[in-house]
Structure formats: structure tokens, C-alpha cells
Structure 1
Amino acid sequence: MHRSIIAVLTALFLTGPAVAAPLCGEFGFSGLLAKCNRGEPIEITLSSGKPLGKGAIALQSGAYYEMHITADGSAELALIGAPFFRAIWMNEIVINGIEVRPMAIDSLEFDEAGTATLSFIAIKPGSYEVKIPDTTSDSQKVQISIE
């Protein structure tokens, strides 16, 4: 019995630290922002009276994504989704070539036509939505799940 306990304790303390599975398959761990850890880009369109996206979006926790939000200038529109924005690690927001590295955001508002690109790592699993504020139509929101 004592030998078993000693063997287990020896195995626990003399072996190296546990190593997570590599993110990038045969190439080994290259970091969360590595090209091999990137999901498909997410397209959101802000246009008066038109749907935001093409249906629900499923993201994988730990994967890197870019969300391209394009406003056509047809109206002054915002996109809100604080619970979603708190469930991700924001790398940067690029607007007109200006890179912003925020701690967190609640919303983005477009007064005229333009594109903002958000790059982020999906972190907290759950179901979220981003939407145009003060709207009730299902076409004015996008369901996003992090798995």
C-alpha cells in the first residue's frame, strides 16, 4: 500500500507539466493568433430595413475570428451586444486604417458609410446576440453561439 502511494506521488511530482493539445495540428502550438487557428470571417451589414446577417453564427472557443461590420450610410445605425463583447477577448478594432485596442466595448455606431473590422478570440461558451438597438425584428439581430 505504501509503495503504491509513493509511486503515485513520485509520478505526480517528477513528471513534467501537462501539455495541451497543439492548436495547429502537426505544426505545433503557434499561439492563438496563428493563421491555422482562424475561423471564417463574419460579415455584418448595417443598412436601413435590411437583415444584419445570413443566419445564426457558431464560433469555437479558443479560435480567432474577424468580424467585418459594414454600414451603407442609408441611416445612422448602431450595433449593440455587450454580453457578446464581454465573452470574447478583443484583439483590435480597425476603422479607416486606425487600430484601436480596447479593453471592452458595448456598441459601435455608424453615422455614415464605412467598415469596422473587429478581430477577437472567442472565449466564453454561451448564446449571444448583436443587434440594432430599439428594434424587435429577428432580421435586425444576429444570434452568435460560442461552443
Structure 2
Amino acid sequence: MFKPALALVAALTLPTLALADDDDDKPGMGLAGLLSASNKQDLPPITLSAGMPLAEAPWRLKSGTYYEFEIQGDGSQELALVGPEFFRAIWIDEIVVEGLEIRPLGLDSVEFDEAGEMEIGFIALKPGSYYLKVPGSTGETQRLEIVIE
């Protein structure tokens, strides 16, 4: 009678004990894995403004890391941001616009008809070189180079 009960307790307890590994050399993700706070990084914002650079520097991202960034449009001109290859190389967790959370299956571009702000949270997946840019622009300041390692 006690042997089956003891076996059940052991079966339920041993996997839990294996999770409590004290090896400090291994990076820990926490209970939420890829979405845990220890795996999250904030990126500098992108600014959509007539004649102004999109960002100060290119982004170097690590595959498997969760990132958040803001896109800030000042309303000086109707401006969009395109980057279909980049958006296919990431998994978008959510887009937040004025407190409204959007969870899309995919994304090709975003556009600001007036001043506003949005935040995008995503996990970088596919290594490679990508970009986000203002469509129809040719200047380097209107393009953000992105590398996922």
C-alpha cells in the first residue's frame, strides 16, 4: 500500500528537484523562459519626424532574446516604417498603441498619420541582416540597419 504511494511522491518530486539546479555557470531563463524578465532588453526608440534620423545607431540583436522598442511619430509629416524581412525574422508578442494591445500574426509596416507613439515587443528569431526604413526614402538616416546574431 505504501510502496505505490511512495513511488508516486518520488515521481512527482524528482523532476521538480532537477529544475532547482545550483549550477551558476548556466544562464537561467526563469519560469517564463523566453518571456521572462531576465531575457528582456529595451532598445532605443525610433523617431518618425520629417528630415530627422530614425535612430542614432544600428541595432545588434541576439536570437532568442525578448526586445521592446518605441516608435515615436511627431506628426510633422505622414510617415511609415517598412521592413517586411525584419518582421518575418521575429515573433511579435504585442504592439501597444495608447493602451490598446494588439497581438498580430504578422506585420509588414506601420504608419503614423498624426503624432503618436507605439511600443512593439518581440523575440528575435532568424539570424541575418535586416532593416526598417521610411518607404521611398534613399538617405541613410531614414534607414535603421539591424543584425540578428
TM-score (norm 1): 0.81
Structure 2 residue 109 is matched with structure 1 residue 100: no
Sequence identity (%): 50
- Inter-partner Cα distance in structure 2 for 1:123 and 1:138: 25
User: Which residue of structure 1 aligns with residue 69 of structure 2?
Assistant: 67
Residue ranges of structure 2 left out of the alignment (5+ in a row): 1-23
Structure 2 residue 55 is matched with structure 1 residue 56: no
Indicate which of 38, 41, 45 corresponds to 2:40.
38
- Inter-partner Cα distance in structure 1 for 2:126 and 2:29: 26
2:128 counterpart letter in structure 1: G
How has the CA–CA distance of structure 1 residues 53 and 27 changed in structure 2, closer, same or farther, with 3 Å as cutoff? closer
Report the RMSD for the aligned CA atoms in angstroms: 2.1
Asked if structure 1 preserves the Cα contact closer than 8 Å seen for 2:74 and 2:116, the reply is yes
User: Which residue of structure 2 aligns with residue 15 of structure 1?
Assistant: none
Number of residue-to-residue matches in the alignment? 127
- Inter-partner Cα distance in structure 1 for 2:100 and 2:79: 20
User: Which residue of structure 2 aligns with residue 140 of structure 1?
Assistant: 142
Structure 2 residue 132 is matched with structure 1 residue 130: yes
- Inter-partner Cα distance in structure 2 for 1:144 and 1:32: 20
Deviating runs (4+, > 6 A) in structure 1? none
- Inter-partner Cα distance in structure 2 for 1:27 and 1:37: 7
TM-score (norm 2): 0.80
Aligned to 1:49, the other structure's residue is in SS state coil
After superposition, give the CA deviation of every residue in 1:9-54 in whole Å (9 maximum; x if it has no partner): xxxxxxxxxxxxx9x8357553111000012323100000000001
1:125 counterpart letter in structure 2: P
1:142 counterpart letter in structure 2: L
User: Which residue of structure 1 aligns with residue 80 of structure 2?
Assistant: 78
User: Which residue of structure 2 aligns with residue 88 of structure 1?
Assistant: 90
Aligned to 1:36, the other structure's residue is in SS state helix
Asked if structure 2 preserves the Cα contact closer than 8 Å seen for 1:42 and 1:65, the reply is no
- Inter-partner Cα distance in structure 2 for 1:126 and 1:47: 28
- Inter-partner Cα distance in structure 2 for 1:27 and 1:102: 25
- Inter-partner Cα distance in structure 1 for 2:83 and 2:125: 15
Asked if structure 1 preserves the Cα contact closer than 8 Å seen for 2:30 and 2:36, the reply is no
How has the CA–CA distance of structure 1 residues 37 and 74 changed in structure 2, closer, same or farther, with 3 Å as cutoff? same
